[in-house]
Amino acid sequence: MGNHNFVQKSNLFSFSATRCLRNEYFHNDCHICIDLCPKGAIHLVRNKLTLFDNECIECAGCIGSCPSEAYEIESFDPNEFAVSFQAQNNPQISCKSTTPCLGVFDADHLLVMALRGEMVPVCDISHCGSCPLNENGKMENTIREHIRLANEFLVQIAIDKKIDIFEEIEVEATRRALFRKGFEKAKEVIADTPSEPQKSMTASHHALPNVRMPLKRVLLKNSLKEFVGSLEITSFSENSPLFFNKQIDFQACTNCGDCTQFCPTDALFPTSDKQGIYFSQGKCIGCGICEDICKTKAITSKEGFDLVSIAYERAEQLVHYDMVMCHECRCPYPYKGGDPICDRCEGYKKEFSNMFTLAKDM
């Protein structure tokens, strides 16, 4: 996820191929945006996600569901909106007045809005049922799931706030008219936008050197800092709906470094001497790449999360090895006890020992 992103654009809407988890790691099977797109504008071409700009209607409904912020729309930045939410006079967020489709927000955005002041967002989903974007109810279900996850997290950490839902049945014809009106407003934005528009908060964040963390996760961690000092409990033994934990089996790990190399957010990173591995809960987005790429299956998920570690991005050392010289191949390897012989030589010795049997011993 470097800064030299390959970006596909469709007027206001853009897709950064190198921020996409599936494009970053060949075996990743993320297909959230493909399933959600009401027009089927996102395709797999040679196992790489590709935006077909002639099919994209720039509804922005997929933006909130992308864990790595690969999608952006110039006319609206959900991160900027979340940060400035408390300055609004009305807590209601609605695609009729203040935002694009509410699919532009995920649970992180909603929590940032709720945690940064007294006002808690009220999500107006009364138009979802008759919305053309709500193909087979997918978009509405996704929006409801984001709200549910955010509220589940607030209950879990004992913060007395709740993101509410406002819903009234709306006539389909009226909603379709509003939908068309929304696209007319989008065209006006394009016409009024200078040739070099000012970068959004999200675009500016992604343009920084060596940035791999989604901005929405950075904002959520910063928002949590305001609360961790006042909470009675900050360490939890159960799983979190939003944050993830990992463990590494000392005996199974070969310290090959693949997990640290392919982690898209640097949640797993090597110790300074390259002989161990750290893990930062606050950086993990639960993509599962580390577990999939580990040849010995040494990395597994673990229950529990710690808010202080998450908010302040503290890291835990999962494994550390002393490097010793293998007495067979004379190469250094991570020592785990017993005879000083590396796994490769030990396996070779067991598998091909018959090749070295002397004739007198046969």
Domain residue limits at 351: 323-361
Shared-domain flag, residues 187 and 313: no
Residues 157 and 302 in one domain: no
In this structure, the answer to whether residues 67 and 126 fall within a common structural domain is yes
CA distance 166 to 33: 25
Query: Tell me, what's the pLDDT at 327?
Result: 82
Residue 190 has pLDDT above 80, yes or no: no
Q: How many residues does the chain have?
A: 362
Q: Could you give the CA distance from residue 279 to residue 260 in angstroms, rounded to a whole number?
A: 9
Burial of 90 (0-12, 13-18, 19+ CB in 10 A): exposed
| Same domain for 164 and 64 | yes
The total of structural domains in the chain comes to: 3
Domain boundary among 197, 222, 247: 222
How high is the pLDDT of residue 18?
Answer: 86
What pLDDT sits at residue 187?
A: 45
Of 193-202, 254-263, 280-289, give the lowest mean pLDDT range: 193-202
Whether residue 40 contacts residue 55, with contact meaning beta carbons closer than 8 Å, is answered with: yes
Q: Is residue 1 part of a domain?
A: no
Residue 180 has pLDDT above 90, yes or no: no
In a domain, 232, yes or no: no
Q: Do 158 and 38 share a structural domain?
A: yes
Q: Please tell me the pTM assigned to this model.
A: 0.84
289 and 199, same structural domain? no
How much is the pLDDT for 191? 45
The answer to whether residue 230 sits within a structural domain is: no
Q: pLDDT category, 123, cuts 50, 70, 90?
A: very high
Q: Is pLDDT above 70 for 173?
A: no
Residue-level pLDDT at 215? 97
Q: How far is residue 223's CA from residue 321's CA, in Å, rounded to a whole number?
A: 36
Same structural domain, 152 and 274:
no
> Which whole number is the average pLDDT over 24-30?
85
**β-pair partners for 26:** none
Asked if pLDDT for residue 31 goes beyond 60, the answer is yes
Q: What is the mean pLDDT of the chain?
A: 87
Distance between CA atoms of residues 133 and 129, nearest Å:
9
